[in-house]
Structure 1
C-alpha cells in the first residue's frame, strides 16, 4: 500500500537498550477530508527519513501491522501500526522531470526505425 501526502511532523529517533530504533512522522493526506496519519519507521528504515523535511510532498510505501496484547487483568486488546518501508519524492519537481522527457521526443527521433 502507499500514501501520498505532505510531511506535517517528524519526531526524533527513539533508541532502546535492546538496540531497537524507531522514528515516527505524521503525513497529511491530500483528499476532501485530509487525514493526519502517523507512520513509523523501524531499524534500518529510520534512515529513510534522513533527508525528509516538514512540508515535503512524498509517497510512502507502507505495511499495516496488527498485534494482540493481554493486559495484567487478562483482557485481550488489539493494536495496529503503520510501518513505512520506502519513500519517493512526489513534489512537482519530479513530475516536471517526467514531462520534460516526454516532450523532448518528436517524430523525427523515430526516423531510423526499421519498420
Structure 2
C-alpha cells in the first residue's frame, strides 16, 4: 500500500531486544484538508535508518503493509491489534525531480541522423 502525507513527528529508534528494533513516526494524511488524519507508522530493523534523511514538515510517500495480530491476555481475553508497518519512505519532491531529470537527459541526448535504431 502507498500513502502520501506530511511528517509531523519522528521518534528515536527503540531497541526492543538484541535482535529487534523499531522507529515510529507520525504522518498527517489530509485527504480532506478540513479534517486531517494523524497516522502512526513504524519502521523496523535496518529500515529505521530511512527516517534519518527525513525532517518534520517534509512531504513524503510511504510504502507500507497493514499488519494485524490476535493476542490472548493472561485473563483469557482476546485482543486484536493493528499496525502500519512502513518499509520505504521517500521525500515527495525528490522523487518527482529524479524522474524529471532522467526524462530530460533522455530527450536532450544528441542522436546522429545516420545512427541505426535497434528496431
Q: TM-score w.r.t. structure 2 length?
A: 0.78
Equivalent position of 1:95 in the other structure: 96
The number of aligned residues is 113
Equivalent position of 1:50 in the other structure: 52
Instruction: Call closer, same or farther: CA 1:18–1:97 in 2, change over 3 Å.
Output: closer
CA distance in 2, matches of 1:94, 1:63: 21
The question of 1:17 aligning with 2:17 is answered: yes
Q: Which runs of 5+ in 1 are unaligned?
A: none
Q: What secondary structure does 2:79 align onto?
A: strand
Q: CA RMSD in A?
A: 2.5
* Deviation of the 1:3 alpha carbon: 0.9
* Deviation of the 1:16 alpha carbon: 2.5
Q: Which runs of 5+ in 2 are unaligned?
A: none
